[in-house]
Structure 1
Amino acid sequence: MRLDKFLAQSSVGRRIEVRNYVKEGMVKVNGEVITEPAMEINESFDVIEYLDKVVHYTGKVYYMFNKPAGCITARKDAVNKTVFDYLDDAHMNGVFHVGRLDKDTEGLLLFTNDGEFEHKLMHPQKHVEKTYFFWALGTLEEEDIKALKQGVYIGKGEILTKPAKIEVDKHGVYEQFKNEISINNLESIDSTHYNQPMVLGYLTISEGRKHQVKRMLKAVGCYVVYLKRISIGGLTLDESLKKGQYRSLTEQEVKKLVE
């Protein structure tokens, strides 16, 4: 195994980071400082040290996280709470988030130390589907649904979005739904909106543009007040996970995502 791969899969850092650690003389193999990241090592017999501490091989790891609203998808932030604040620091040095969710968006977020896994899920040419549950002020008529399915323009100079899947779950007015679920966004809505039309549904996209779901729904006259990602590819969020909790993916779940 390459030295940089070993370090990346042992929670020392991301592949690009550990290459720099090696080049800067921070890594030893069997007591000797090594500066070549591509050096082949035997993870079963060689003794690898980083900053004079023995590194134990952990292998590839994959986590499912139920992201709560109010935290940002980043490792550190001077102002906001981040998704990593919910994770066990002892095992997360080389782990990174796969894609991201907006600060006020909840739901399924993945973590790994496997760069190939991230590439298979996030590369634009892979077209991995992601499904979101939404509450939005407004209505979705047949022509709006047709437009979302065919693709809409969501920004100046941007190309048409790829065809999406849309499922309307409920139509009504805000007054009907405001007590169904505890959502801070809804609680802050002015009382003048109580009789405003509201629609609940699911939108499935295969792209990852910034604020894409919100912008797509805005393009057909809807204002999103709650958004939750419920699935990526063939993987669905484990609803037994409370907000802020995470767990390892099973072998079968990993296969669902990469096959």
Structure 2
Amino acid sequence: MDKVLGNLGYGSRTELRKQAKMGLITVNGEIVKDSGAHVDPYQDVIEIAGERVFYRKHIYLMMNKPPGVLSATEDRRDRTVLDLLDEKDAAFEPFPVGRLDKDTVGLLLLTNDGALAHELLSPRKHVPKTYLATVEGEVGQSDVEAFAHGVELDDGYMTLPAKLTVLSRERRNVVISHISLTITEGKFHQVKRMFQAVGKKVVFLKRISMGDLSLDESLPEGKYRELTEAELKLLGASL
């Protein structure tokens, strides 16, 4: 029991032992004072201080990643997206599925389901990812056509075809273009490098979808929530 509850973030084994001795843990309505008792987390009804414990093997989180935070599990200098998680969710040891640059915001999936993460990131699957971007420079039809054929990056790599849509333009000191871009791969700094290849600079970047899963726009930057069953099905349909 202490292993099940510990994995769910309800406390250390020492803390759970104390709670059990205090009579705060029940299994199927019966007080269990031995925190090492055997339980079936999928069948038994476990409660702590009257709160039902729901066990699950995997966790699936949608985060609206804020700027200035790394899409990594740990870093010596900067905060990572895992630092934004509550203790109970961090106990599942989720990791980000793919990466968003430090200054990029938007949809980030975190899970401990390695099989799903592998499928979503597999180059063979070509799972589409859509971004909104603000670009310095006048993005036009020639860029749309270039992206549709694939552009050569600074290291000589030729990207797969991508769908570029110009949403609007405005004039400040320079022309600013607002665009959406859907790519089906995930090379290092790919969106920024694609625009660099056509002589333009991305100044703001936000991912809004991954496969059929879209960012919940009501989710503030830096916040997250668990995926709904419907969203999980949408994610699976993308594979």
Which TM bucket (shorter chain)?
A: 0.7 to 0.9
Residue of structure 2 equivalent to 1:124: 123
Equivalent position to 2:82, from 76, 81, 84: 84
The answer to whether the Cα contact below 8 Å between 1:153 and 1:161 also exists between their aligned partners in 2 is yes
Residue of structure 1 equivalent to 2:212: 234
Residue of structure 2 equivalent to 1:186: none
SS at match of 1:124: coil
Cα deviation, residue 156, structure 1: 2.3
CA distance in 2, matches of 1:106, 1:60: 25
The answer to whether the Cα contact below 8 Å between 2:69 and 2:80 also exists between their aligned partners in 1 is yes
Matches within 5 A, 1:1-259: 10=7, 44=42, 57-93=55-91, 94-158=93-157, 160-173=158-171, 175=172, 194=173, 196-259=174-237
The answer to whether the Cα contact below 8 Å between 2:149 and 2:162 also exists between their aligned partners in 1 is yes
SS at match of 2:235: helix
Cα deviation, residue 90, structure 1: 2.9
Structure 1 gap ranges (5+): 1-5, 13-29, 32-41, 47-55, 176-193
CA distance in 2, matches of 1:105, 1:252: 27
Count of residue pairs the alignment pairs up: 198
The answer to whether the Cα contact below 8 Å between 2:161 and 2:183 also exists between their aligned partners in 1 is yes
Cα deviation, residue 102, structure 1: 0.3
Structure 2 gap ranges (5+): 10-35, 45-53
> Cα RMSD (Å) of the superposition?
2.5
TM-score, length basis structure 1: 0.70
Residue of structure 2 equivalent to 1:179: none
More deviation in 136-145 or 205-214? 136-145
The answer to whether the Cα contact below 8 Å between 2:166 and 2:178 also exists between their aligned partners in 1 is yes
CA distance in 2, matches of 1:69, 1:99: 16
TM-score, length basis structure 2: 0.76
The answer to whether the Cα contact below 8 Å between 2:59 and 2:113 also exists between their aligned partners in 1 is yes
Percent of residue pairs bearing the same amino acid type: 46
CA distance in 1, matches of 2:143, 2:220: 34
Cα deviation, residue 139, structure 1: 1.3
Cα deviation, residue 76, structure 1: 2.1
CA distance in 2, matches of 1:44, 1:117: 22
CA distance in 2, matches of 1:172, 1:219: 22
